[in-house]
Structure 1
């Protein structure tokens, strides 16, 4: 015990030394709780993707069952594309193309425009701004009234990206800003849902630097949309942007983390919050967390095939990676010193441990040998008890049977003598050739056998039933067996030879074989294991 405590204290000292030598990672302040939650969710984000995949698989199954119903196929294709949007762009485009073909084949103008607007929005999300704009321009002023809000919000999203992408060129930036403001106002006017009106009003106030009003609008939007959705993530991102503009960095990190959490829980891989949060953490010196977040953002962008996001990440990735590698190298140098120190201490510990383990192995080996010997002895005693019990039962059974048959033999001798003396040869011949008497004797023998066997193995039928399928189990009255069970009763007694079994039961070898095969076919275990399991059924003396 003293030695064990000494070893524990020694190991604890080593661990503490290692921890102290490596403890140079800065702590995350203020918004740390949300960032830690985000960090733990990134590890399991594949779980949320699997949930999204299961939903899409269900929609694809519905599509297979839709048959030739064009309207139903169009609706399901749209649902599948919507679920792929923000998750996997290539698959989303594939299903939008299918809907375009359906729209063209049915000459349905509304379907065509609805699908083109979705496709434009998707192309915009992956950075194909020119292609997205071409589609919107092709629709122009011919937008049906029900699709007007979708058109305006898609155009707003496109010009948002164009404005941010061209900020380095003042001329282009101003032109895109004018168009962006135009579609902010159009979206506000065409939106019938007050929830989206909050979002457009926020953007208008944001462009006019009215941050108090913008924050009020986006707070209403966040409250109005459900959790674990892309809209909730957008709301938190907008809130983070506003907090950053008024200089509240702590809240900016908090809402970027909340936005990233919503992206993960909604399996949204087209996101921006995580990469911006990574850059903020990098500027604060938290290189480890920044590097992990950036790696996750890169993986999401590649999974979604978002060229624009990949370009944005590529601008900051080398900076963060360089800082991360410098920190890793510094940590490695400290680790090398710790490793040398700990190695020397471990060598000493190993030498002491070897001596202790050597002695423990000798003790353990001796204990195992004693336990094994006791176990074998107990098994042998149980087998001897069972064998003695079977022997006692069957000696009594066969003595009784011999007594019965001697008595019968005496009666037959007396009856034969009387009929010979009176010349009743015809009745004597009839008596000798009467099969009914033989069958009665056999039935009596089998009944006596059954009773004797079931006294030794009272749970035999119940145990056999456990090996059979529910609808194939035997319902046998107490005290008797039928031929199938009688065969396996003989096997349990060690009579496994089909010739001996056929002699006892007065059946041919083929019949005995067929009975054995028939019972095995009913079993829930492998046929080769069935008779071995029969041999494991315990007698009453084993309980």
Structure 2
């Protein structure tokens, strides 16, 4: 049990690291232009240094630094610069440097799919009398071109031949390279990886990792080889993805356009169903390959891009289908609700007509009331069923649902009051109490009570849904312009006006009608409050509409 808990904790820790790394990678891609500008600045500085070089030796050293900047950034510029380096080395008689540059040129060719050119360059080199380090680079270039041919060539005898040649030159390189150099350690790690000795490969990678600066281009290369070691192990997929993401992050931050880590990571994420992120990554990798300027990289990325795009399109179609189904269901429910509302409206009209024939239509009124109760019960049942469907709707729908419920209760209460009033009037008429009836209907107290009750119901409903509205509203105003909210359970006229605006009722004439004020009064209230806004009056009402919205 303890072992299982420990393993689960380790898996969670790796997943947390991966999620954090993905967020960093997303951020780096978002700011990729800044990293490109940094590299372009370095290139411009080197170009200026090359232009003012006084000797061929100085020019050679600076051109070589310029090539190192271009080799993973822009292929055509890199090939042009290394060509100039070869010419300079031959001009001042440095054979070792000339051969070294030609090996770099051949390596760049094989990296970009120019295999025949790479073999031609290497075939023209005579390695007799060269320093061991240069010979090692020569063997490295041969091992690389045959490795690329083996990996991207057609299966069969030719592929086996390429593998044999790559392994032969790799072995020759190990025999002459400095054992403390990264080139030697990298070649040794590749050897152990190919032999399925992952433990030894990771040990070599640990040593290489300790020698590079985290986040550098060299770190990205070592991290990518570590990913291949873990991938070879087969039981550390999450760990492999972590190091692949590390390599991709370093590539993006170093403005590396000749990327392998990012499109490999995009392919893995696509297979796991993380289509949105994989689509973003492969798109960025494709743009980088275009900037690097080789058809080989585009050819390598194209199948991955097509696969991700196909998966993305399938997911989009599935999502669109679900949306269409949901929209159809909502439309059906909306039509049903509209039908119910029309039905209720018709019944209410019948009820109003029945009130004109109080004595003769008493039996019909009872039947209509029974029908109305049945409709109300149907509406209640429909509302209960709809709550499960519309639970995920937005804040505006929630507000409307609340007010619809209160509207129905007020309507029901109003019907009961009308019925009580009808009975009372009927009784007074029957008893010929005409004077009392006249006095009762002449006074406006009933309307005032109804209006006050309307305000109270509105305030209670609104503050129930937006309990912090008063504080949030005052936070938009200057301290001296803030409005007192009474006892916290009722709104004053100013707050009530902006509460209606928060609910989406912005027309002054509509607000005036609801609150029983003149349009000019409502306009003056709104203007006076907006003049006290902290951020100016222009966007004040839009900010009021955002009060209470989830963040």
TM-score by length of 1: 0.57
* Deviation per residue, 1:33-60 (Å, 9 max, x gap): 2222222211112211111111111111
TM-aligned CA deviation for residue 344 of structure 1: 8.9
Q: Please name the residue that 1:38 is paired with.
A: 25
Question: What is the CA–CA distance in structure 2 between the aligned matches of 1:82 and 1:34, rounded to whole Å?
Answer: 28
Alignment of 1:501-516 (within 5 A): none
* Deviation per residue, 1:326-346 (Å, 9 max, x gap): 222333455675798769959
Question: What is the CA–CA distance in structure 2 between the aligned matches of 1:107 and 1:181, rounded to whole Å?
Answer: 33
SS in 1 for 2:258: coil
SS in 2 for 1:353: coil
Tell whether 2:285 aligns with 1:285: no
Question: What is the CA–CA distance in structure 2 between the aligned matches of 1:369 and 1:47, rounded to whole Å?
Answer: 42
CA contact (8 A) 1:196 1:221 kept: no
Q: Please name the residue that 1:176 is paired with.
A: 162
Alignment of 1:45-60 (within 5 A): 45-60=32-47
Q: Please name the residue that 2:96 is paired with.
A: 110
TM-aligned CA deviation for residue 159 of structure 1: 2.2
Of the three residues 194, 204, 207, the one matched with 1:207 is 194
| Inter-CA distance 64–368: structure 2 relative to 1 (3 Å threshold) | same
Question: What is the CA–CA distance in structure 1 between the aligned matches of 2:216 and 2:204, rounded to whole Å?
Answer: 19
CA contact (8 A) 1:275 1:294 kept: yes
Aligned residues: 343
| Inter-CA distance 143–222: structure 2 relative to 1 (3 Å threshold) | farther
Of the three residues 301, 307, 315, the one matched with 1:313 is 301
Question: Which one has a bigger Cα radius of gyration?
Answer: 1
5+ residue gaps, structure 2, are: 1-14, 332-392, 401-501, 513-518, 534-551
Tell whether 2:116 aligns with 1:130: yes
CA contact (8 A) 2:228 2:240 kept: yes
5+ residue gaps, structure 1, are: 1-27, 372-543
Alignment of 1:261-272 (within 5 A): 261-272=249-260
Question: What is the CA–CA distance in structure 2 between the aligned matches of 1:322 and 1:97, rounded to whole Å?
Answer: 42
SS in 2 for 1:86: coil
SS in 2 for 1:270: coil
| Inter-CA distance 354–144: structure 2 relative to 1 (3 Å threshold) | farther
| Inter-CA distance 352–314: structure 2 relative to 1 (3 Å threshold) | same
Alignment of 1:85-484 (within 5 A): 85-142=71-128, 144-145=130-131, 146-166=133-153, 168-192=154-178, 193-247=180-234, 248-332=236-320, 345=397, 351-355=504-508, 362-363=524-525, 365=527
RMSD: 3.2
* Deviation per residue, 1:431-462 (Å, 9 max, x gap): xxxxxxxxxxxxxxxxxxxxxxxxxxxxxxxx
CA contact (8 A) 1:195 1:225 kept: no
CA contact (8 A) 1:294 1:317 kept: yes
CA contact (8 A) 1:163 1:173 kept: yes
Question: What is the CA–CA distance in structure 1 between the aligned matches of 2:307 and 2:233, rounded to whole Å?
Answer: 26
TM-aligned CA deviation for residue 203 of structure 1: 1.0
CA contact (8 A) 1:45 1:265 kept: yes
Q: Which has the higher contact order (CA 8 A, sep 6+)?
A: 1
